[in-house]
């Protein structure tokens, strides 16, 4: 309850700050985007059969300040949900999350950047949302660095926030056209106890003949062994792009970083080692056509088993964003003991204004056939159709879609969704 109040307080303070900030800065802009999503479908609940469920989602984004130039800016993004039917489908009638809300100062010299508030940090071994401070800068011509410290937002509901902390950073050395090399570190404490400590190294090596070798390794400092190695090469053979890759995971060290009991916790005690290798292959043809193929092999050390996935996709692109395509995939899974074949057809056309009263139409069909029955069903069929139109000089976009699913979990499931996106953008 206290946390919810704090979040609400932060949200409104942030919103107020965002609205006031342009008054204090020069060449300021304010941008406001609202995405309202209304869904409708039926579900069986504890008390009702085929009860209507009508959740309304509001995604709100506010950006203010010098957005396209160095200076001071404020950014906020969050979502909230209200169940209009309120018939017990959702555990909570309302839900929501402040995804980020921070003040940012940046300057052109050395690309110095400072952020204060709730923010996503995605660099090196960090994939975190932090309530705190992050500073980054180029450090001369060949180095750059960043540091951050604060509280991890993901632990906010785990026994309160007392004793929760996170800090880390990344130091990089780069010579444009030759290589980028980074070392990173992250430590999380939960309820005053050490919860996660990772170190990592990442590398991109630009070799002759347009070959790039890149990847990273992460080391679990608690378990004192490597959690992950992921490396790939990018090659161009004439018009063909090829990306061979190899990944290696040690479950005890990879999943041993979980900061609280989770559905993945049991994996940390299995001693399993997973090796994945394969390649992506992309061939453009006649500008409009694109052929993509992928092959992945999974090898399990403890289970002494393996799985394979192969897929091929072809797509055609027309004027604007028009695209149609299809995909065929096959999973041969020894570890799950169920194989499947996946067929997907998709299309999007924004060249329909002359024949239809909408700006675009879209369609999607996904069929999956399983070699063994799951809940007495051996296939899934999903079909989605959508249309959209813009109004008010592209400030308002309405999108309507309906989808049907027949699968092991739902016999004949019909769902509808209406999205209203409104963008307000103004220089002050």
| Residue choice 7, 21, 63, 65 for contact with another protein (CB under 8 A) | 63
| Range 189-218, binding another protein (CB under 8 A) | 202, 204, 206, 210, 212, 214-216
Give the nearest distance from C-beta 22 to another protein in angstroms.
17
Among the listed residues 40, 45, 51, 57, the single contact to another protein using CB under 8 A? 57
277: CB partners within 8 A, 6+ apart: 244, 245, 246, 247, 296, 297
| List 15, 221, 328, 374, residue binding another protein (CB under 8 A) | 374
Residues 348-367 binding another protein (CB under 8 A) are: 348, 360, 362-364, 366
Distance, in Å, from the CA atom of 184 to the CA atom of 199, rounded to the nearest integer, reads 6
4 touching another protein, by CB under 8 A = no
Closest separation in Å from C-beta 20 to another protein? 21
Smallest gap from residue 28 Cβ to another protein (A)? 15
Verify binding: residue 30, another protein, rule CB under 8 A: no
- Tokens encoding 151: 């509280």
Cβ–Cβ under 8 Å, residues 330 and 342: yes
Segment interacting with another protein (CB under 8 A) among 2-10, 13-21, 42-50, 177-185: 177-185
Closest CA to 6 of 160, 130, 115: 160
Among positions 18, 182, 256, 278, the unique one binding another protein when judged by CB under 8 A:
182
23 lines the binding site for another protein (CB under 8 A): no
Among the listed residues 34, 48, 232, 275, the single contact to another protein using CB under 8 A: 232
Footprint on residues 301-330 left by another protein (CB under 8 A): 307, 309, 313, 315, 321, 323
CA distance linking residue 187 with residue 196, whole number of Å: 6
Q: Which of 43, 54, 79, 199 binds another protein (CB under 8 A)?
A: 79
Cβ-based nearer residue to another protein, 16 or 425:
425
Q: How far is the CB of 395 from another protein (least distance, A)?
A: 13
- 416: tokens are 């509808």
CA angle, 212 as apex, 211 and 216 as ends, to 5°? 155
Look up residue 264 and give its DSSP letter. Answer: T
Give the nearer residue to another protein in terms of CB position, either 37 or 396. 37
CB of 15 to another protein, least distance (A): 15
Give dist(CA 298, CA 307) in Å, integer.
5
Contact 77, 14 (CB under 8 A): no
- Give residues with Cβ within 8 angstroms of 91, minimum separation 6: none
Q: Which residue in 51, 233, 417, 420 binds another protein (CB under 8 A)?
A: 417
Interaction between residue 172 and another protein (CB under 8 A): yes
* DSSP class per residue in 67-122: SSSSEEEEEEEEEEEEESS-SSSSSSSEEEEEEEEEEEEE-SGGG-EEEEEEEEEE
Interface with another protein (CB under 8 A), residue total 140
Beta pairing class for 71-83 and 29-43? unpaired
For 318, the 3-state DSSP assignment is: coil
User: What residues between 270 and 289 interact with another protein by CB under 8 A?
Assistant: 274, 276, 280, 282
Q: Choose between 136 and 220: whose C-beta lies nearer to another protein.
A: 136
Query: Minimal distance in Å, beta carbon 137 to another protein?
Result: 4
Binding characters for another protein, 377-396, by CB under 8 A (x = yes): ---xxx-x-xxx--------
On whether the CB atoms of residues 118 and 104 are closer than 8 A, the answer is no
Give CA–CA dist 344/364, Å, rounded: 7
**Binding flags for another protein, 94-123, as an x/- string (CB under 8 A):** -x-x-xx-----xxxxxxxx-----xx-xx
Q: What are the contacts of 344-348 at 24+ separation with CB within 8 A?
A: 347/323, 348/321, 348/322, 348/323, 348/324
């Amino acid at each position: 309850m206290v946390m919810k109040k704090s979040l609400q307080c932060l949200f409104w303070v942030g919103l107020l700050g965002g609205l006031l900030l342009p008054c204090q800065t020069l060449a300021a802009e304010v941008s406001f985007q609202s995405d309202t999503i209304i869904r409708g479908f039926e579900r069986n609940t504890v008390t009702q059969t085929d009860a209507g469920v009508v959740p309304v989602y509001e995604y709100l984004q506010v950006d203010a300040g010098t957005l396209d130039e160095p200076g001071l800016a404020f950014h906020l993004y969050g979502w909230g949900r209200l169940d209009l039917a309120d018939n017990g489908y959702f555990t909570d009638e309302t839900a929501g999350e402040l995804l980020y809300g921070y003040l940012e100062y940046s300057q052109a010299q050395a690309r110095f950047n400072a952020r204060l508030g709730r923010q996503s940090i995605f660099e090196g071994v960090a994939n975190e949302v932090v309530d705190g401070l992050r500073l980054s800068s180029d450090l001369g011509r060949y180095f750059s660095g960043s540091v951050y410290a604060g509280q991890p937002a993901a632990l906010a509901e785990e026994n309160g926030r007392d004793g929760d902390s996170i800090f880390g950073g990344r130091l990089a050395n780069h010579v444009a056209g030759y290589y980028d090399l980074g070392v990173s570190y992250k430590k999380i404490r939960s309820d005053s106890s050490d919860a996660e400590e990772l170190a990592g190294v990442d590398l991109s090596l630009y070799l002759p003949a347009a070959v790039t070798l890149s990847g990273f390794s992460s080391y679990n400092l608690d378990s004192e062994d490597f959690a992950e190695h992921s490396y790939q090469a990018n090659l161009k053979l004439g018009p063909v792009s090829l990306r061979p890759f190899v990944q290696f995971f040690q479950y005890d060290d990879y999943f041993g970083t979980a900061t609280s009991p989770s559905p993945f916790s049991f994996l940390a005690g299995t001693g399993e080692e997973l090796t994945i290798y394969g390649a992506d292959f992309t061939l453009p043809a006649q500008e409009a056509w694109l052929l993509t193929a992928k092959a992945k092999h999974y090898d399990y050390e403890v289970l002494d088993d393996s799985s394979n996935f192969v897929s091929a996709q072809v797509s055609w692109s027309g004027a604007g964003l028009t695209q149609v395509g299809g995909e065929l995939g096959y999973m041969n899974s020894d570890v799950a003991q169920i194989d499947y074949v996946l067929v997907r057809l998709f299309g999007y056309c924004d060249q329909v204004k002359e024949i239809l009263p909408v700006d675009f139409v879209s369609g999607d069909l996904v069929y999956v056939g399983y070699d063994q029955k799951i809940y007495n069903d051996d296939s899934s069929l999903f079909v989605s159709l959508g249309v959209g139109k813009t109004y008010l000089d592209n400030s308002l976009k309405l999108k309507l879609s309906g989808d049907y699913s027949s699968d092991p979990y739902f016999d004949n499931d019909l769902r509808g969704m209406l999205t209203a996106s409104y963008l307000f953008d103004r220089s002050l």
